[in-house]
């Protein structure tokens, strides 16, 4: 008999957090009326995370399932693999770093029971460093303006989905994606709840500034053509202004005569236009690159092994 709730946890080098995480998760879920399971996806960890996951499976094969990747494929692909194997009618995602306390999961399940199909969470009193908090707020604003997808806190992975939404997410088969945004895109009756937030218990964050920028770039280019359209508008405006400048310089040469001054100004204008062109080429290249990734149809992830109790 399938459980009613599946907890999905991507794991990458989290050996110090796994046992306390599972202990708190099991205490929380065993106290609920829902039957449950947890699907850990080891995303190519290089520490002892997989050994701990094997031990947890040996201790609780009734609820623990483990998917082991051959190599690191990224957090969202780890979640996607678990989505493909989830059995519950409700699927909850949570990170392994204990920044989102598993004791908050019942809040999301209660909202699902009230009829919502996607339940996001808003971190109360975030315990991250200052620049991450402000960067997150900025990206939330930019993402909403560009994609039209409304999420108060896109960086919080503590979320709950009904099975129908999870199946739609899996059916996309996308190589690069942002799962919370996909969930909101497919949701008919979404909701958000406030949850507590804690400092990372152990280990280091897997998202440095570069990875955060890349993740948000995937989000914006994967859900909207606005960046291309904005660049087209800017390019047309600059072209018009450049044409006016050429006409002005030509008229000045005819009426006043050639000038020796202003050479560096012209160079500055030239460098600016070259920079705009290079930026545009990079932006177009991002879209073309995503098309290339999709049409070549390579596997999004490679599973080495699966640990689960056979029915």
Please name which of 182, 51, 53, 202 lies closest in space to residue 120, comparing C-alpha atoms: 182
- Determine contact, residues 149/223, Cβ cutoff 8 Å: yes
pLDDT confidence tier of residue 198, bands split at 50, 70 and 90: confident
How far apart CA 250 and CA 245 sit, in angstroms, is 9
Instruction: State the sign of the Cα–Cα–Cα–Cα dihedral 164, 211, 274, 146.
Output: positive
Task: Give per-residue pLDDT as tens, 101-158.
Answer: 999 999 999 999 999 999 999 988 776 555 555 666 666 676 667 667 778 887 789 9
How far apart CA 304 and CA 285 sit, in angstroms, is 33
Going by DSSP bridges, is the β-strand pair 90-93/159-162 parallel, antiparallel, or unpaired? antiparallel
pTM score, two decimals? 0.76
Ranking 254-258, 285-289, 305-309 by mean pLDDT, the lowest is 254-258
Task: Give per-residue pLDDT as tens, 79-95.
Answer: 999 999 999 999 999 99
- What are the beta bridge partners of residue 306? 67
pLDDT confidence tier of residue 43, bands split at 50, 70 and 90: very high
* DSSP classification of residue 303: E
Q: Helix-strand-coil percent breakdown of the chain, rounded to 5? A: 55, 15, 30
How far apart CA 214 and CA 14 sit, in angstroms, is 22
Please name which of 234, 254, 152 lies closest in space to residue 193, comparing C-alpha atoms: 152
Sole residue written with tokens 């008919």? 188
Total residue length of the chain: 311
The predicted pLDDT at position 29 comes to 97
- CATH match for 5-204+299-307 among 3.90.1150.10, 3.40.630.10, 3.90.550.10, 3.40.50.300: 3.90.550.10
Tokens encoding 35 = 């039957």
Highest mean pLDDT among 37-41, 72-76, 239-243: 37-41
Residue 258 sits at φ, ψ, to 5 deg, of -65, 150
* DSSP classification of residue 155: T
């Amino acid at each position: 008999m399938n459980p009613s709730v599946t907890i999905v946890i991507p794991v990458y080098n989290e050996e110090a957090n796994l046992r306390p995480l599972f202990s708190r998760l099991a205490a929380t879920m065993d106290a609920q009326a829902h039957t449950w399971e947890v699907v850990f996806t080891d995303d190519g960890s290089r520490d002892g995370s997989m050994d701990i996951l094997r031990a947890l499976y040996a201790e609780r094969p009734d609820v623990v399932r483990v998917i082991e990747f051959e190599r690191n494929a990224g957090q969202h692909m780890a979640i996607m693999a678990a989505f493909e194997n989830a059995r519950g009618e409700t699927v909850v995602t949570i990170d392994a770093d204990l920044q989102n306390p598993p004791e908050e999961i019942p809040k999301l399940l209660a909202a699902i029971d009230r009829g919502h199909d996607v339940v996001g969470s808003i971190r109360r009193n975030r315990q991250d460093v200052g620049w991450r908090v402000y960067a997150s707020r900025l990206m939330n604003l930019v993402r909403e303006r560009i994609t039209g997808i409304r999420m108060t806190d896109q960086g919080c992975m503590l979320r709950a989905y009904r099975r129908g939404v999870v199946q739609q997410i899996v059916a996309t088969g996308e190589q690069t994606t942002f799962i919370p945004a996909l969930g909101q895109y497919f949701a008919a009756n979404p909701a958000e709840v406030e949850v507590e937030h804690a400092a990372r218990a152990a280990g280091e964050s897997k998202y440095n500034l570069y990875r955060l920028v890349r993740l948000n770039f995937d989000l914006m280019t994967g859900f909207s053509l606005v960046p291309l359209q904005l660049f087209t508008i800017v390019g047309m405006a600059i072209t018009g202004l450049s044409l006016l400048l050429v006409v002005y310089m030509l008229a000045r040469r005819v009426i006043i005569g050639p000038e020796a001054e202003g050479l560096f100004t012209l160079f500055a204008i030239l460098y600016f236009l070259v920079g705009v062109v290079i930026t545009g080429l990079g932006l177009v290249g991002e879209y073309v690159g995503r098309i290339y990734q999709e049409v070549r149809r390579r596997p999004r992830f490679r599973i080495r092994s699966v640990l689960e109790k056979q029915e």
